[in-house]
Structure 1
Amino acid sequence: MPEYISSNDLRVGTCIEVDGTLYVVTAFQHTKVGKWGAIVKAKLKDLNTGLVVEKSFRAGEKVARAVLEGKRAQFMYRSGSDFHFLNLETYEEIVLPEEVVGDNQDFLVENLEVELLVYEGRYIAVNVPPFVDLEVVDTPPGVRGDTASGGSKPATLETGLTIQVPLFVNRGDRVRIDTRTREYLERV
C-alpha cells in the first residue's frame, strides 16, 4: 500500500508517483487563486525519461509518495554505454545503462562511492556525492594580467567534463567540483 502525503508537504527532491509514473519534485510554488482556493504548482522530472512537466495540485490533495531504497555502491569502470558498480553490502556487481546514470556520468571516477536508488526492485538513478575531486587533463596556460575573460578559462577534466576554472589552475592539478551546480570550488 503506497504512502500518501499532502500536496502542501511537497519539497524539492521529494519522489512521488502520479498516474503510474515516478517523478522527483524540482520546484514548487503555493498560490492562491481568487475564490477558488489554494493550489500547489510543481515542476516534476520524470525519472524514466528525464522530461520535466508541470502539474497543479489542490492544496491538501493526497499524493502517493514513492519510497526509494538507497544502496551504497562503488563505481568500478565503464564499458561502452554500461557502467559497472560494486554493491558495498553484498559485493555483487551491478551493471547499469547510461540512461539510468544520466548526467552524473560526468563525475564518475574509479572507486567513487555513490548511492544507487532502487524503486520496486529496479534501479532508477545514481546519486553522486555533493563534491568530487577530479584531475585537470587539458587547459590553456593562464596569462598573467589576462582578466578580460573574467579571470577564468575552460578546463577539461579526467571524465571529459569541461568547466570554467581560475587562471592559476594548470594541467595535472586536482580540483573540487560541486556536482549540483557543476562549478569549480577550489584546487586540492
Structure 2
Amino acid sequence: MATTADFKNGMCLDIDGNYFFIVEFLHVKPGKGPAFVRTKLRNVKTGRIIDKTWNSGVKVEEVRIERRPYQFSYKDDMGYHFLHTETWEEIIVAGESIEGVEFLKDGDICEAMVHAASETVLTCEMPANVVLEITYTEPGIKGDTATNTLKPATVETGAEVRVPLFCEVGDKVRVDTRNGSYLERVERAKA
C-alpha cells in the first residue's frame, strides 16, 4: 500500500483491477478546504489517458513492476515472440502492448514491464529511436533543397516515414519510435 504522498511519475497503480501508470501528478493545497492530488493516468491495456483527483493521504494499491530487457525474435499469429537477454526464456506479447511496433525488426532490444507477483507482461517499450534502411522512395529532384519539404519513404519494416528530399533508397535513417518522425540520416547509400 502507498499513499498519495508516495506518488511519482512512472509508478504503477491497481485501480479496480486495472493497471495504470502515473504520467504526471500535482499536489494542490488550496487556501480553503483540504489538500488533494491531481493525476494523469495511462491505462496499461488500452493506452488511454484519464484524469483522476485524489484526496490527500488516500491509500492506493501500488503494483510492483520490473523492467526486463527482451530481444525480438519473430512474429506469428500468436503475437510477437521475445527472448530474455540473460535467461533466454521466451515470452509472447500482443502487438497492442508494444508502442511503435511498426518499427520493430529482428534483433531489436525492447524493455518489457513485468508484473512482479504474477510474472505477466504488461507492456513492452521500444527504444526511443531506431536506425532503419529505406527500401522505397521516389527520387528527389536535384537542387530542390530550398524548402524543408518531406516525401514518403518505406523502411525495411514496412512502415512509412516522411523523410527529406535528399534521402534515397538504401540510406539508413534514424526514426523516433514514439511518433514515427525522421530524426537524421545515419549512413549514405553506396553508389
Q: Does structure 1 residue 74 correspond to structure 2 residue 71?
A: yes
Which residue of 100, 107, 114 corresponds with 2:103?
107
Deviations 1:110-152 (A, max 9, x none): 111112211122111112222211111222222232656x322
Aligned residues: 183
Q: CA deviation at 1:93?
A: 2.3
Seq. identity, %: 37
Which residue of 16, 21, 40 corresponds with 1:43?
40
| 1:20 counterpart residue number | 17
Q: CA deviation at 1:175?
A: 0.9
Q: Which amino acid aligns with 1:116?
A: A
Matches within 5 A, 1:74-153: 74-80=71-77, 82-101=79-98, 103-119=99-115, 120-143=118-141, 144-145=143-144, 150-153=148-151
In terms of mean alpha carbon deviation, does 109-118 or 176-185 score higher? 176-185
The normalised TM-score by structure 2 is 0.82
Q: Which amino acid aligns with 1:86?
A: L
Decide whether the 8 Å contact of 1:27 with 1:44 is kept in 2. Answer: yes
Q: CA deviation at 1:76?
A: 0.8
Decide whether the 8 Å contact of 1:75 with 1:111 is kept in 2. Answer: yes
| 1:168 counterpart residue number | 166
The normalised TM-score by structure 1 is 0.83
Task: Note closer, same or farther for the CA distance 1:152–1:9 as it changes in structure 2 (3 Å cut).
Answer: farther
2:100 partner SS: helix
Which residue of 176, 179, 186 corresponds with 1:178?
176
| 2:153 counterpart residue number | 155
Q: Distance in 1 between matches of 2:146 and 2:29?
A: 48
Q: Which amino acid aligns with 1:169?
A: C
Task: Note closer, same or farther for the CA distance 1:138–1:9 as it changes in structure 2 (3 Å cut).
Answer: farther
Decide whether the 8 Å contact of 2:134 with 2:155 is kept in 1. Answer: yes
In terms of mean alpha carbon deviation, does 176-185 or 163-172 score higher? 176-185
Task: Note closer, same or farther for the CA distance 1:7–1:87 as it changes in structure 2 (3 Å cut).
Answer: same
Q: Distance in 2 between matches of 1:63 and 1:181?
A: 32
Which residue of 51, 56, 64 corresponds with 2:53?
56
Decide whether the 8 Å contact of 2:78 with 2:92 is kept in 1. Answer: no
Alignment RMSD: 2.3
Segments of 5+ residues of structure 1 without an aligned counterpart are: none
